[in-house]
């Protein structure tokens, strides 16, 4: 059964037709959903377009010391490429000098007076990193669609002519190979990319005395965020190109202290609300192309709960009570649905749902979800208070206290001073982080728990910038400022040293080829959830910008 039986088109906005979603037994009314949809449409950003050109030719060279074993080295000026027959330089890699997201065009010209008498077949491979141009894509071993990879076979019917790729691409490097042609000679005389983002302008510069590595981390974080700010906050402009709730939360944090495009945050909050499941639980992700729709069947409990925190932050950053009040029923409903995942013992009851927190394989999420319940329920109570809706959450503070009590009783190893998770009593960074963020421990206890895992080589550590964000936030929350600074410098600084133009979806300092999808080239190398140093550096200048 399609849970999202479409109801009649109920509104139009300019030329945008809005299709509402409703279903019998829906906790939200069609009027509510349509209002959210209309407000999401009204908050559409004007896309900023910049035309960019290649800056040089490079060679992709094997180097065991380079990130993933490959690096790009200078191989001449871009101008030489345009003057020369393409047939004599098949395999050339052009470097656009920065990560770009947008639409590619080029112009073909004849190099001699000969006539084009047959089509030309080319392969264009767009890559975010050098290794994507060196590791063969086939036979494809990855767990996600092969079609995300940006190698395009293109047939040009005749020359001279112009060509535009309809697919939006996300890349720094472009490799061009000639797969088929007849005897006539031709060249590419011009090429460009119409790069697009919904970010406007540049964030304020950091104080001049900020250390160079921090400035670099901030600059690359800003570039990452800019690239992911499209018509929604995308997770990655190469892949998955959609609005994930967890990524939205982190992008909104970074945006609020850099580009300050609060309208984009508003659009994304409304959009996710409008397509929530009939029981009100938010989907983990949604799309706005070709129309607004959720990824049905994909719900992540910890992401849904973060909606409370994201809306609270949005209200604090903007003072926009109208939006917060519109969306309060959605935030509240996340806590209501979450309660169905909590048993009589005030612990997660094991009811099946995706609980994420990080891609680290083997990571046990039970302690983290317990801490997440506590933190996000507290955020819901704070939001209710700011909105004068305390009555809606009258019983939530006492319930939350019971969750915190159960966490201590059942998961805290008082002797070692750490939370343990699951049947194997796993000790992980993120269990301590989420319990800290939930305020389950006193400041002193939290410091001990976090310091303990930092000193334990066997403790399970996050494998993504997403998980790492919450660990650093927890270090700051309990006053471990030096440790927070060091961790950020070591983790994001590690990516800087390895040549990142934008920060990566997955980064394990000890394993460059780590991929949750069994194939590193399918990872995203410009990933929204990795942009949060922008938030840390700009929000806590006393820790980072000195």
Residues 86-125: x/- map of binding to ligand RAM (CB under 6 A)? ----------------------------------------
128 binds ligand RAM (CB under 6 A): no
- Facing residues of 121 across strands? 155, 180
Other Cβ atoms less than 10 A from the Cβ of 31: the count is 11
Quick one: which segment of 160-168, 238-246, 265-273, 309-317 binds ligand RAM (CB under 6 A)? 238-246
356 binds ligand RAM (CB under 6 A): yes
Quick one: which segment of 181-189, 241-249, 360-368, 483-491 binds ligand RAM (CB under 6 A)? 241-249
**Are the CB atoms for 259 and 281 separated by under 8 Å?**
no
244 binds ligand RAM (CB under 6 A): yes
Q: What residue has token string 């915190």? A: 404
Quick one: which segment of 66-74, 234-242, 345-353, 429-437 binds ligand RAM (CB under 6 A)? 234-242
Other Cβ atoms less than 10 A from the Cβ of 518: the count is 11
Rank residues 147 and 394 by Cβ distance to ligand RAM and give the closer one: 147
Residues in CB range of 268: below 8 A, 6 or more apart: 40, 232, 233, 243, 248, 252
Quick one: which segment of 129-137, 236-244, 304-312, 380-388 binds ligand RAM (CB under 6 A)? 236-244
Quick one: which segment of 2-10, 195-203, 242-250, 313-321 binds ligand RAM (CB under 6 A)? 242-250
- Residue 139: is the preceding peptide bond cis (ω within 30°)? yes
Quick one: which segment of 7-15, 119-127, 232-240, 384-392 binds ligand RAM (CB under 6 A)? 232-240
Contacting ligand RAM (CB under 6 A), which of 247, 288, 445, 473? 247
Q: Which of residues 486-505 bind ligand RAM (CB under 6 A)?
A: 505
Q: Which of residues 516-535 bind ligand RAM (CB under 6 A)?
A: 524, 529
Q: Which long-range contacts (CB under 8 A, 24 or more apart) does 83-88 make?
A: 83/187, 84/111, 84/187, 85/111, 85/185, 85/186, 85/187, 86/176, 86/178, 86/186, 86/187, 86/188, 87/178, 87/181, 87/185, 87/186
Rank residues 141 and 201 by Cβ distance to ligand RAM and give the closer one: 141
Contacting ligand RAM (CB under 6 A), which of 128, 216, 218, 235? 235
Measured CA to CA in angstroms, residue 439 lies from 223, 242, 408, 436, 504 at distances of: 33, 32, 11, 5, 30
Quick one: which segment of 83-91, 235-243, 471-479, 491-499 binds ligand RAM (CB under 6 A)? 235-243
How many residues at the interface with ligand RAM, by CB under 6 A? Answer: 10
Q: 185-212: b or e for each residue (b if 16 or more CB lie within 10 Å)?
A: bbbbeebbbbbbbbbeeebeebeeebee
- Shortest separation between residue 242's beta carbon and ligand RAM, angstroms: 8
- Shortest separation between residue 64's beta carbon and ligand RAM, angstroms: 28
Rank residues 478 and 522 by Cβ distance to ligand RAM and give the closer one: 522
163 binds ligand RAM (CB under 6 A): no
- Facing residues of 283 across strands? none
- Shortest separation between residue 277's beta carbon and ligand RAM, angstroms: 17
Contacting ligand RAM (CB under 6 A), which of 20, 246, 438, 493? 246
240 binds ligand RAM (CB under 6 A): yes
- Facing residues of 60 across strands? 72
CA–CA gap between residue 110 and residue 114 (Å, rounded): 7
- Facing residues of 151 across strands? 125
Ramachandran angles phi, psi of 348, nearest 5°? -55, 130
- Shortest separation between residue 543's beta carbon and ligand RAM, angstroms: 26
Interface contacts to ligand RAM, rule CB under 6 A = 235-236, 240, 244, 246-247, 356, 505, 524, 529
């Amino acid at each position: 059964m399609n849970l999202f039986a479409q109801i009649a088109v109920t509104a139009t906005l300019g030329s945008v037709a809005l299709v509402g979603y409703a279903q019998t037994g829906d906790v939200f009314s069609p009027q509510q959903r349509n209002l959210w949809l209309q407000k999401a449409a009204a908050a559409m950003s004007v896309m900023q377009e910049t035309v960019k050109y290649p800056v040089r030719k490079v060679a992709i060279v094997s180097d065991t010391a380079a990130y993933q074993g490959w690096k790009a080295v200078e191989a001449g000026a871009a101008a030489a490429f345009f003057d020369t027959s393409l047939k004599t330089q098949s395999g050339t890699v052009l470097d656009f000098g920065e990560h770009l997201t947008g639409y590619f065009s080029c112009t073909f010209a004849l190099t001699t007076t000969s006539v084009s008498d047959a089509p030309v077949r080319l392969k264009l491979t767009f890559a975010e990193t050098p290794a994507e141009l060196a590791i063969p894509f086939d036979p494809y071993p990855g767990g996600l669609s092969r079609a995300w990879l940006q190698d395009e076979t293109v047939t040009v019917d005749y020359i001279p002519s112009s060509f535009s790729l309809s697919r939006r691409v996300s890349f720094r490097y472009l490799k061009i190979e000639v797969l088929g042609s007849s005897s006539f000679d031709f060249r590419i005389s011009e090429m460009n990319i119409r790069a697009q983002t919904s970010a406007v302008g540049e964030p304020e510069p950091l104080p001049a005395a900020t250390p160079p590595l921090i400035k670099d981390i901030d600059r690359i974080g800003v570039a990452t965020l800019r690239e992911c700010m499209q018509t929604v906050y995308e997770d990655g402009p190469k892949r998955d190109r959609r609005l994930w709730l967890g990524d939205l939360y982190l992008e909104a944090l970074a945006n609020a202290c850099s580009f300050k495009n609060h309208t984009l945050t508003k659009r994304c909050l409304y959009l996710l609300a409008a397509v929530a499941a009939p029981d009100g639980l938010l989907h983990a992700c949604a799309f706005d192309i070709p129309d607004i729709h959720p990824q049905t069947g994909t719900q992540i409990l910890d992401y849904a709960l973060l909606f409370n925190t994201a809306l609270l932050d949005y209200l604090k950053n903007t003072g926009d009570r109208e939006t917060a009040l519109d969306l309060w029923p959605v935030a509240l409903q996340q806590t209501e649905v979450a309660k169905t995942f909590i048993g009589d013992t005030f612990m997660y009851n094991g009811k099946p749902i995706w609980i994420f927190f990080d891609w680290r394989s083997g990571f046990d999420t039970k302690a983290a979800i317990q801490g997440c319940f506590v933190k996000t329920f507290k955020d819901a109570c704070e939001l209710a208070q700011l909105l004068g809706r305390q009555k809606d959450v009258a019983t939530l503070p006492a319930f939350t206290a019971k969750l915190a009590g159960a966490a201590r009783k059942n998961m805290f190893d008082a002797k070692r001073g750490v939370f343990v998770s699951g049947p194997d009593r796993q000790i992980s960074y993120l269990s301590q982080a989420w319990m800290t963020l939930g305020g389950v421990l006193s400041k002193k206890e939290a410091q001990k728990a976090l310091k303990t895992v930092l000193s334990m080589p066997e403790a399970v550590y996050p494998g993504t910038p997403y998980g790492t964000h919450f660990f650093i936030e927890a270090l700051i929350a309990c006053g471990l400022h030096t440790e927070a600074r060091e961790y950020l410098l070591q983790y994001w600084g590690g990516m800087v040293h390895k040549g990142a133009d934008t920060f990566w979806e997955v980064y394990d300092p000890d394993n460059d080829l780590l991929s949750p999808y069994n194939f590193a080239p399918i990872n995203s190398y410009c990933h929204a959830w990795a942009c949060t140093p922008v938030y840390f550096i700009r929000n806590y200048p006393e820790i980072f910008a000195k």
